[in-house]
């Protein structure tokens, strides 16, 4: 039986690659986007399999309506993919309050809200797969992306806790944590105002992202195939890194984290209460 997918941010980047691959695989897709007219070609090619929906993921009322309309259209939701997101580059102190809120609302609050809206249906079905598109930036912090990565760290943590909560209900959760993929995600990032003093950290990082020599390793079409296979796996991972760059950063960071823990171990255990 064909699965029903609910994919946010389906008109661009990784979301577009995944939506296209899912349709080619014969499944059904509720494809949400701010501008669903960008899905016209897919709607013409797969008229009975795609359900384009306008959705601003930061609008709670619109989220409920999109989920209810999908249930009315297809009768079930088997796979949720929270993919919509964006980032703004800059120093932590440089962002406006609105820039901070917008990143947290889109990258953290929205996937939590959409997950919560769909969970009751999956709970009643006693089945479902949830793929949260987090980032290697949800595991390893770096300059120039503090707010974006704060949201992604939160999403990875939410996903890990949720996986333990819903597994007995037949719902399996995976936090997808890609490295750099060849989409427009970095080239389309806007920047907060420049602040003196961050040239060697934030400044260098922004130059790297904006450079024409900045080559990303990941192929979004290959990532889409992995995710399609993942939802059929009986024991999917709670965290799945995608890309050799993501693996390299985790290995490097794990070594540094363990070394730091061992160095400070006496201080850490010194806070235990005395044995009565």
CA distance 63 to 248: 37
Instruction: Transcribe 153-214 into DSSP letters.
Output: HHHHHHHHHHHHHHGGGTEEEEEEEE--BSSSTTTT-EEPPP-TT-IIIIIHHHHHHH-TT-
152 is catalytic: yes
One of 148, 156, 159, 175 is an active-site residue; which one? Answer: 148
Count CA within 13 A, CB hemisphere, residue 252: 9
One of 17, 134, 159, 175 is an active-site residue; which one? Answer: 134
148 is catalytic: yes
251 is catalytic: no
CB 99, CB 55: distance < 8 Å: no
CA distance 157 to 30: 26
One of 3, 152, 159, 198 is an active-site residue; which one? Answer: 152
CA distance 23 to 41: 12
CA distance 172 to 64: 22
Q: Where are the alpha helices (DSSP H) in the chain?
A: 13-24, 40-45, 60-74, 97-104, 110-125, 146-166, 204-210, 220-230, 244-263, 265-269
The set of catalytic residues is 134, 148, 152
């Amino acid at each position: 039986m064909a699965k029903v997918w609910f994919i946010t941010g389906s008109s661009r980047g990784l979301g577009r690659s995944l939506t296209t691959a899912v349709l080619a695989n014969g499944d059904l897709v509720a494809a949400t986007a701010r501008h669903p007219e960008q899905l016209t070609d897919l709607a013409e090619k797969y008229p009975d399999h795609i359900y384009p929906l306008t959705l601003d993921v930061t609008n709670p009322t619109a989220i409920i309506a999109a989920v209810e309309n999908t249930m009315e259209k297809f009768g079930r939701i088997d796979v949720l993919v929270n993919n919509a997101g964006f980032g703004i580059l800059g120093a932590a102190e440089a962002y406006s309050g609105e820039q901070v809120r917008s990143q947290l609302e889109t990258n953290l609050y929205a996937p939590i809200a959409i997950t919560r809206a769909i969970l009751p249906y999956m709970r009643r079905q006693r089945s479902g797969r949830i793929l949260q598109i987090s980032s290697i930036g949800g595991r390893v912090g770096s300059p120039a992306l503090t707010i974006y990565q704060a949201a992604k760290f939160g999403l990875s943590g939410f996903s890990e806790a949720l996986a333990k909560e819903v597994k007995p209900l037949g719902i399996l959760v995976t936090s997808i944590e890609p490295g750099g993929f060849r989409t427009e995600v970095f080239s389309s990032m806007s920047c907060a105002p420049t602040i003196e003093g961050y040239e060697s950290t934030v400044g260098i990082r922004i130059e790297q992202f904006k450079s024409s020599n900045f080559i990303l390793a990941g192929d979004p079409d290959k990532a889409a195939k992995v995710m399609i296979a993942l939802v059929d796996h009986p024991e999917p991972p709670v965290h799945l890194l995608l890309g050799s760059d993501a693996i390299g950063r985790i290995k490097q960071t794990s070594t540094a984290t363990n070394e730091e823990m061992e160095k400070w171990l006496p201080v850490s255990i010194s806070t235990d209460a005395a044995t009565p």
